[in-house]
Every structure is written in structure tokens, then in C-alpha cells.
Structure 1
Amino acid sequence: TGAGQWGSALSFATMLFGLKLTVYMVKVSYMQKPYRAILMRTWGAEVVPSPSNRTKYGRSILEKDPDNPGSLGIAISEALEDAISHEDTKYSLGSVLNHVLLHQTVIGLEAIKQLEAVDEFPDIVIGCVGGGSNFAGISYPFYYLVRSGKAPKKTRFLAVEPASCPSMTKGEYMYDYGDTAGLTPLLKMYTLGHDFIPPPIHAGGLRYHGAAPTMSLLKKAGVYESTAYNQVEVFEAARLFAQTEGIVPAPESAHAIKAVIDEAIKAKQKGEEKVILFNLSGHGLLDLAAYQDFLDGKLPAHEYPAEAIQRSIEKIKAVLLEKGIRP
């Protein structure tokens, strides 16, 4: 888990079913969001900051870089190694793979019913993207209606990423591993390279090197659009939302809010009416330390250099070619 939403959900579920749970939580998020780890422990889970000394791969990372902030790719590698090493252990994931995205579409199906109740249909559907389950959950049911000719209008789909981890916006469409150690099957997706370590932004749920295969395919086909923002402008949008709506949004959701504001301003300038649907996927009450940094002017506006991204991608291509795999 990155920001901890998936870890929290799984902690509660395993408690209900009497199962033991170990959560590998990205270390920078573990430090930034201590109350999220407390939630998981309250429901009986063991929470391990990743990279850790618990696994062989985690130890190898720490030997090279004791201050490594971690990434979702590293946490996945550690969790997979743990599961492979114990016959009584299974690995459960909450994003990226296509079946997970389909599970999340209950959100979009509900949104369709809600909009039917007010006789509306979106011109634009917007969501934040880390691995892709959040945005797929809200957008795939609407895409189905558009694709099947059942929608009353043509709808745009806009994926929003951090400028420090813009896999769909600046990554390359190629085969890559879903984890840093290369334990997963190869996935055809937009990727920044599986050993890409993003800066320690507060939107921990969006610090993933790739995007889900089906979502990447839609982006490649020109059906889905993507954009990226730095975290300072994202928190500015979050503050405006809190002031106007009374809800403090999670940093991940605030990326979508920033895009919603921009699209609304464009429509206003053109004198157009637009129905904009977005996924407010979480509150930010466990992220108030990030808001404090923003309000105190201490929040850096991370943007990952294009040349660094390209170096990461070329490195992965070389690894694949060594194994006889065309990227």
C-alpha cells in the first residue's frame, strides 16, 4: 500500500474473516501518514515500512541506499517475496491489474444511477491515476456507454497524474514489470521504468511507475487523455475546494480537483455549459501534516526531469533486450 487506503480496506476485511495480514507500506507514506498505519494496526494488521529488513529484496535496497524512501514497486516486490516464501500466504493487490479495475467499476455504475436521477450525463469524466483503479472505477462504465452507442453525448476522459510521476503523460508504452524486483509477469503499459523512484510527494497513492494495461491501451488509442500537475498547484486547488465545499480532500483526489477547476474555467471562458464528473476518492484528514507544509510554504513543487525519465526507460529497455524480450 502507498497512501494506505488499500491497506486499510484489507485490514478491516481480514479482521472480519479472521485472517492474518501483513501490509508492506511505502516508507515515505508510512512516515508522512502515521495515523493510516495506526488504523491498520487497530484492525489487527502488521504494518511494515518498505523497503524493510524483512525480505531479501528489501535488504538489498537498503544496503545500496539506507535512506531509500520506497515506492509501490518496491513494496509489491517485498509482499510478493513474502508470499512466495510461505506456503500459507497469499498476495492481494488493489490496483494496476485489469481484474482489480473491473472490481472498482461499482463506483462508476453507482455514478450512472445517480446522474440518471437528475437527468444528466457527463461531458468530462476526471480522476487521479496511480496504478489506475481509481480512475477506471469511475470512468469505465461511462466509456462502455459511449463505446456501445448508448450514451446521449460524446464524453471526454481525463486522467490526472503528479508531475513527479507522470507515467501516462511522459512515460513510454512498452512491456515492463509491475514491481521493482521483476517478480510479476510483464505488462504492456505506459511506464517510467520499474525501478523508477518518484520524489517523496504527499500523494502516496499516485507514486507508481506504470498505469494499468487496459487504461494504457485506451490512452494509446487516443480515447483517454492525461495531464500532470505539481503538488503545490494541487494543494492550492485542494484549499479552494475545502473553502467552497467544506471537505478537505486527500492529496490524491486533489489532483482530479485541480483538473476539474481548469476544465470549468475553460468552459466558462468559452461560454459553454459542461457537466463535469470526478471521483472524490478520499478525505485528507489523515494528511493534515501535508496541508501544514503547504500553508507554511514548505511544500516543494516536484517535477521529474524528462531526461531522468528517459534514462530510466532506456535502462529498462536494455534489461528486457538482454532477456530476449522486445520492449
Structure 2
Amino acid sequence: MVEREEILPKYWYNIIPDLPKPLPPPRDPPDAEFSRIDLLRKIMPKEVLRQQFTVERFIKIPDDVRNGYLNIGRPTPLLRAKRLEEKLGTPAKIYFKYEGATPTGSHKINTALPQAYFAKSEGVEHVVTETGAGQWGTAVALAARMFDMKSTIFMVKISYEQKPQRKTVMQLYGGEVYASPTNLTEFGRKVLAENPNHPGSLGISMSEAIEYALSNDYRYLVGSVLDVAILHQSVIGQEAMKQMDELGEEPDILIGCVGGGSNFGGFAFPFLGAKKGEKYIAVGSYEIPKFSKGDYIYDFPDSAGLLPLVKMITLGKDYVPPPIYAGGLRYHGAAPSLSLLMKEGIIEWREYSEPEIFEAAKIFAESQGIVPAPESAHAIKAVIDEALLAKKNNEKKVIVFNLSGHGLLDLPNYELMMKRSSK
């Protein structure tokens, strides 16, 4: 049996030097009154920003961060979904990396820890961020507390209302949580003036967090769409590769859901870089159709346009996503590296609707006993489709997916889905 410390990687993996073509660089808008790139230097920890722009393939994980990973339960388990295989009657083998085993219940802590560590190393005492479904805000609140810092989280209003337990957990970790849009920022007040009942969006919350950090000389931690978050999340895929090797298995199909891209990229990119796997499938929401209807263009990651333009698949910074059941997927764009790989046809995509993912979540819960996060249920639906295709073709495929978190704090959303499905 391989020891925990041996499975946990000592380096983060950066896919940027292994992309099929150079990644289009971030840039300021042509009519810019100020440099957004200079703004990043003011609000992000210096080492986090350096890692965002690095072309190094491997970056050493600091010992304090690695110890932090061990403390929160890394490496997370790689489990075989044997009962799901039996329920589907498929010859395929199904494995899942269970990120719900962390204290915060999701993969988000994997980048919150190093970003908080680098902020603290630079003398920062207060960090700020946004959160959609609440997993990222929860991770930041815990990571800040682990390094004796304060945290402020702007939570998308509809998720704030749908998931009060997430707010409670963040507050237990010492975080201050506000329903965004708020009256605390100029941008929030502008949004509320136009629509007092605005449900909020990740782009709006991101803009508020950045403005708040800038106004108070705090530091901003980024959760998903920038490639530095994917870099830190690479611990997932690297662990999974070692665990698969220990089992003597080679993956054929790798699957993950996509909000901004850190969950999918952190899981799949190490396999892609190592040339392991035949098919990579990124799964999004039918109700937020960025894969099917988005454009591959330069766009702002945030709604206020405070961050630099990045080239990505996007529905546009002004897109207002509907208040769907999976708050973590309510984002208008996808990470630049993921967007490029999708445009090159290296990564496939799927989009599924609420009835489809609700049925997939039920099947998984009934067979494996784990209630998945609604976001991860999108990945499960793709897994089921691929397993049934293997059954039809009588192929012994090995399917591996990332279960980005549990859904135990999403039960109110599941209750609503149950009511809608019964009509």
C-alpha cells in the first residue's frame, strides 16, 4: 500500500507549456482608462500572480501548504462505483475521485489553501473573494482562519437565499458573508439601482469583491476561471493518476463538470499532459449554455470589467444567468486554457438540463449512497451515458470522473427539484 505522503504530489502541474498552441495573453481593453493588469498587482498576492503568468511545467508546493493538504484529508479517495456499474449493467469500470471528503465538502480548498498561505507570507491580514454555490467561499473562510487572517465573502444573492447553511459554515469559520449585489460597493449599488431584486451572478460578486479589496487594501483570492486556480487543483489529477497506477488501471474516459473550469482542469489536465486517456468530457448546464452558444473571444471575467480581458468561451460579461439549482455553474465563461483545448477539439463538451441531472443524482445516490453536489450530478449524467454506450458496444471502458463535492448542503435545492419532477 502506497503511503498518503507518497500519493500527495510535491509539485503542482501547469498545462500551459503543453497546450497545442500558445495561450492568448490577457490584455487591457483598447479604450482603457487604467491598466487592469496593473490592478492585479494591487489586489492579488504577488506569488499567486506570478504563478498565473508562469510557463513552468512544475511548481514546488511549499511544505506548509503540503502539510495543510494532509491536514484537510488529502489525498482524497479514489473509489470504484461498483454498484452503479451493476445498476447500469455495463461492462465498463467506473471510478470517481471523491473531493467531497475534505472538511469543506468540495475541491475548492485545494487552491484556497495556497492562495491564503501566499497572502499571509506577504503580511496580509484580510482576504476577500466571491462565491456562487458557496463551496469556494467556505474554502476561503477556512483557509484564511488556518493562516490567522480575516475573510470577507460576497455570495451570489440567489445562492445566499437558497443555501443558508453555507453562510452558516462560513460564519463558523470566521468569515463575513454578504448577499451580492450589496450596498457596500459602488458597482453593487449601481446594479441594485437598476434592479432592486437582482438575483446576482458570479460576475457581479467578483466585481464587488475586487472593488472591496481595492478600496480597503485587502487581497483578492481567485476561485476558478484564472489558470492559477487550475494549477493548484492539479493535486486532484496527480493523486488520481498514482491511485490508478496502484490499481493497475489505465483510464479511457475522463469526465468533470465545469463552472469556470478549475474542477475539471485540476482533475483532467494532469492526465492530458501525461497522455493518459482517449476521451475528455467537460460537462456544463443546459440552462447556462456557454458551450453551445458562447463565443471564443476576449471578454472580462467579471461583470464590472475590472479584470484584464482574457480569451475564453463566454456568453458575455453582462449575461445574467437564471437562478438555477447548481449555483457553481452559473458563470458566463470558461478558463482560457480549457477554452483553447475545447476549441482545438481535444476536449469534448456536453450540456444537460435539470431533469436529466436530477435523475442521474438519484441513480448515484441510490447505488453509491453519496448525495452528489448538483454541479457534480452533471458529470454523473455524462458517466451514465458513456457507461450505457459501452454496454451497447460491449466495450470494457475505464471511466474516471471527479466528484467535486457532496450535496448535503444542497438538500433545499434537491427538495425543489423533487417537487418540480413530480408535476
Give the shorter-chain TM-score range: 0.7 to 0.9
Match of 1:131 among 256, 260, 278: 260
Match of 2:391 among 268, 275, 278: 268
The residue type paired with residue 221 of structure 2 is S
SS in 1 for 2:251: coil
Matched with 1:325 is none
SS in 1 for 2:413: helix
Moved more, 49-58 or 290-299: 290-299
Is 1:279 aligned with 2:402? yes
The alpha-carbon deviation at position 253 of structure 1 amounts to: 0.5
Is 1:183 aligned with 2:306? yes
CA distance in 2, matches of 1:213, 1:80: 20
CA distance in 2, matches of 1:97, 1:294: 31
Matched with 2:418 is 295
CA distance in 2, matches of 1:76, 1:295: 31
Given that residues 207 and 303 in structure 2 are in contact (C-alpha distance below 8 angstroms), is that contact kept between their aligned partners in structure 1? yes
SS in 2 for 1:21: strand
Q: Measured at CA, do residues 121 and 213 of structure 1 come closer, stay the same or move farther in structure 2, by a change above 3 Å?
A: same
Matched with 2:270 is 141
Matched with 2:382 is 259
The alpha-carbon deviation at position 299 of structure 1 amounts to: 8.9
Q: Which runs of 4+ in 1 moved over 3 A?
A: none
1:133-163 Cα shifts (integer Å, max 9, x gaps): 00001100000011xxxx4xx5211000001
The alpha-carbon deviation at position 200 of structure 1 amounts to: 0.6
Amino-acid identity (%): 56
Counting only pairs closer than 5 Å after superposition, residues 209-220 of structure 1 correspond to structure 2 as: 209-220=332-343
CA distance in 2, matches of 1:78, 1:284: 27
1:3-40 Cα shifts (integer Å, max 9, x gaps): 11111111011112221110001111111111001000
Given that residues 142 and 173 in structure 2 are in contact (C-alpha distance below 8 angstroms), is that contact kept between their aligned partners in structure 1? yes
The alpha-carbon deviation at position 293 of structure 1 amounts to: 1.3
The alpha-carbon deviation at position 168 of structure 1 amounts to: 2.6
Matched with 1:66 is 196
SS in 1 for 2:167: helix
1:223-281 Cα shifts (integer Å, max 9, x gaps): 00111011121011001100000001010110100110011111111111111110011
Given that residues 51 and 58 in structure 1 are in contact (C-alpha distance below 8 angstroms), is that contact kept between their aligned partners in structure 2? yes
The residue type paired with residue 253 of structure 2 is I
Match of 2:208 among 55, 74, 78: 78
Matched with 1:200 is 323
The residue type paired with residue 139 of structure 1 is A
CA distance in 2, matches of 1:295, 1:91: 37
Matched with 1:312 is none
The residue type paired with residue 52 of structure 1 is T
1:154-209 Cα shifts (integer Å, max 9, x gaps): 52110000011122332110000000010000000000001111111121111000
Relative contact order, CA 8 A, sep 6+: which one is greater? 2
Matched with 2:230 is 101
Is 1:165 aligned with 2:293? no
Q: Measured at CA, do residues 55 and 231 of structure 1 come closer, stay the same or move farther in structure 2, by a change above 3 Å?
A: same
CA distance in 2, matches of 1:166, 1:121: 32
Counting only pairs closer than 5 Å after superposition, residues 52-63 of structure 1 correspond to structure 2 as: 52-63=182-193
The alpha-carbon deviation at position 63 of structure 1 amounts to: 0.8
Is 1:118 aligned with 2:247? yes
Q: Measured at CA, do residues 220 and 125 of structure 1 come closer, stay the same or move farther in structure 2, by a change above 3 Å?
A: same
The alpha-carbon deviation at position 43 of structure 1 amounts to: 0.6
The alpha-carbon deviation at position 297 of structure 1 amounts to: 2.3
SS in 2 for 1:297: helix
Given that residues 168 and 216 in structure 1 are in contact (C-alpha distance below 8 angstroms), is that contact kept between their aligned partners in structure 2? no
Give the alignment's TM-score, normalised by structure 1: 0.88
The alpha-carbon deviation at position 112 of structure 1 amounts to: 0.2
Matched with 2:68 is none
